[in-house]
Every structure is written in C-alpha cells, then in structure tokens.
Amino acid sequence: MGVLKLFSNDVAIDLGTANTLIWMKGKQIVLNEPSVVAFDRTTKHIIAIGKEAEAMVGKTHRDVKIIRPLRDGAIADFEITEGMLRAFIRKVSLSWQPAKRVVVCVPSGITEVEKRAVRDSCEHAGAKEVHLIAEPMAGAIGIGLNVHEATGNMIVDIGGGTTEIAVIALDKIVADESIKTAGDELTIDVIKYFRSVHNILIGDRTAEIIKCQVGSAVPLEEELEIEVKGRDLVSGIPKAIRVTSADVREALAESVNEIVEAVITLLEKTPPELAADIYDRGIMLSGGGALLKGLDERIRRQTSLPVHVADDPLTSVVRGTGKVLENLVEYSAVLIKSSRY
C-alpha cells in the first residue's frame, strides 16, 4: 500500500480552450501550457504541443498546421485533441508508470460524444479510471466555496472560448448559462477595432497584449495609453499609432455587455431561495477573462451584488480539479455521471 502511494501518478487536468493545466497528486501544478498543437497537414502527425507549438505560429512552412483544437469550448477536432491530451499526460508522467486515475475538467456544455472522446483519450494514455467534472464546478471548488452545503453560490468562469455561469448548491449545478463570448472574442474585437477605425492590421498576439494591458470594462481612474504597431491597410507599410484605454474599452463594449447580460439572465432564472443566498454572498469570477480591468466593478454596478475575483483566476479550475482528485470520496457527487460505467 505504502509503495503504491509513493509512486502514485494520478493527475487532474483542466482541458481549457486557451490553456491546459495538469495537477499531479502530491505535487500540485506540474504543467501550464497553451492548448495548441502543431501537426503535419497530410499525416496528422503531431509535431509539437503547448508552448513549443505556440512559438511556431507564423514561422512554419505550409505543410504544418497549428490549431487550438478546443477553440469554442467544445472539441473541434477529436483526433488532434486526443493527441494533444495524450502528449500532455505523457509529458508529466513517469515513463514507467502512466497516470492511473485521471480527473478531467470539461466545459459544462460538452456533448456525450465529446465526453466519450475525452474519456477514451485518457484511457489510451494509460488511465485506468477517468472522471469528468464540469468547469464551473471545478472553479467553485478551486476558489474554496463549499459546494456541499445547501447554500447557492454563483460562479462566472470567463475562459478563452466560453463564459460559463453556474449556480451551485448541494454538489450540483442548479442552473447554468454558457455563451461563446469570452476572451477570444474580446481579442477579435480589438483586431476589428484597429482594422475599421485605424485601417491597421494587427496580429492575434498584439491584440491580446493590448486587451490585457489596457483593456477595461469601466472607465479607469487613470486612463492608459499604448503604442500599437501593425500594417497600414492602405499603404501596406508598417505603421505605429497610439491609442488610449478609453478607445479599447469602446472596442470591447459590446462583448463585455454580452457577458454581463448573460450573468443577469442566469440571475433571473435562479430559484428564489438560491437567489437570496447569492444576494448575501455575491458572485465569484474565475478564468483568465476575470482579469480584464474593471470587469468585477462593471458586474457589481449592473447587478448591485458583491462581486469577487478569485485569487489567481487562471488556476482556480485546475486547483479545484486537483482537490477533487485528492478527495475523490468526499467529492464523488460533483462528478459528471458517466453513461458507460
């Protein structure tokens, strides 16, 4: 028994649309890389994953394709997703002992076929026991909310591909709402803004940096300014311009509003007893999108409820999934029921 425990290689995985994180029993977070895969277009052979694949963007020849297989919060390409998941698991596993027990966090809107694909991928990677958990549930546990009690908690997880909003009580998701307006969409808004207003073409990376550095959901006490370089769409020549955080806020306004509206919609659908709990406890934000400046303030203003951002929101989901892995008996009721076992 003791020996088995010592060599235990169980893992918890946050299979996010933007980032994949792996937690290993007893070791905490052992991997945190973008959910990106580079593969050969014809053979579908995987060339690189994670950071390595991301670094290849825009620098490869045309036989190599680089994709984010989970782009919209659901699995766009099974084969590639499976390859990526297996490669990540292998990367953190001791070669002589594959992960035995795996808990994977998946978007709450995932289909049965996709659930099966995730289970199969983990099994192909050597897992003997695979459990699935919904992303907002894992986020809530990672934040430290007591999901067992009969009190309603609202969590909003803003990832890359989806914003998932859920009300949790007694180990279950009581009401939820999932929209495709999330981090990626905000980045696209920035690209569109520069194209339509300034006639400048900027890349994904540049747009993401602008969003993270000067993007906001409410006016800032001190507005920021940033220099942006791109290609002038008229002359075709590289050009630099300066924009303010007020300009970027304007560009993000519509999508930010969609996120806030989705929160309000779910509040309206929440059973009254649980709504009363949320009135007292407020709303928790997790996921990378929770880092958008002033998003908490914006939701606070529009709902008149207390709003809190999780500590380290990019890791709350994997920390919650890890906690479930390490306390499987306590958390068995929060797992997604399998149709197969």
Residues forming contacts to ligand ADP in the complex (CB under 6 A) are 16-19, 159-161, 183-184, 187, 208, 211-212, 215, 287-289, 291-292, 314
Q: Which amino acid is at 183?
A: G
Cα torsion 96, 7, 116, 328 to 10°: value is 180
Q: Shortest Cβ distance from residue 320 to Mg ion (Å)?
A: 11
Q: Looking only at residues 5 through 44 of this chain, which bind Mg ion when binding is defined by CB under 5 A? A: 16
Residue 334 phi/psi, 5-degree rounding, is -90, -10
Q: Tokens for 19, please give them.
A: 């980032």
Which lies closer to Mg ion via its Cβ, residue 151 or residue 316? 316
Assess 136 for contact with Mg ion (CB under 5 A): no
Q: Shortest Cβ distance from residue 137 to ligand ADP (Å)?
A: 14
CA 319 to chain centre: 13
Which lies closer to ligand ADP via its Cβ, residue 92 or residue 188? 188
Which lies closer to ligand ADP via its Cβ, residue 82 or residue 277? 82
Q: Which amino acid is at 287?
A: G
Rounded to whole angstroms, how far apart are CA atoms 195 and 192?
5
What is residue 234's three-state secondary structure?
A: coil
Closest CA to 138 of 255, 246, 252, 287: 287
Q: Shortest Cβ distance from residue 184 to ligand ADP (Å)?
A: 5
Q: Shortest Cβ distance from residue 88 to ligand ADP (Å)?
A: 13
Q: Which of 109, 159, 161, 289 binds Mg ion (CB under 5 A)?
A: 159
Which lies closer to ligand ADP via its Cβ, residue 220 or residue 275? 220
What is residue 43's three-state secondary structure?
A: coil
Q: Site map for Mg ion, 300-319, x if CB under 5 A? A: -----------------x--
CA distances from 182 to 97, 247, 311 (A): 37, 19, 19
Rounded to whole angstroms, how far apart are CA atoms 308 and 67?
33
**DSSP one-letter code for 155:** E
Q: Shortest Cβ distance from residue 172 to ligand ADP (Å)?
A: 21
Binding partner of 288, given ligand ADP, Mg ion, none, CB within 5-8 angstroms per partner class:
ligand ADP
Q: Which amino acid is at 187?
A: T
Q: Shortest Cβ distance from residue 70 to ligand ADP (Å)?
A: 7
Binding partner of 110, given Mg ion, ligand ADP, none, CB within 5-8 angstroms per partner class:
none
**Sites of contact with Mg ion (CB under 5 A):** 16, 159, 317
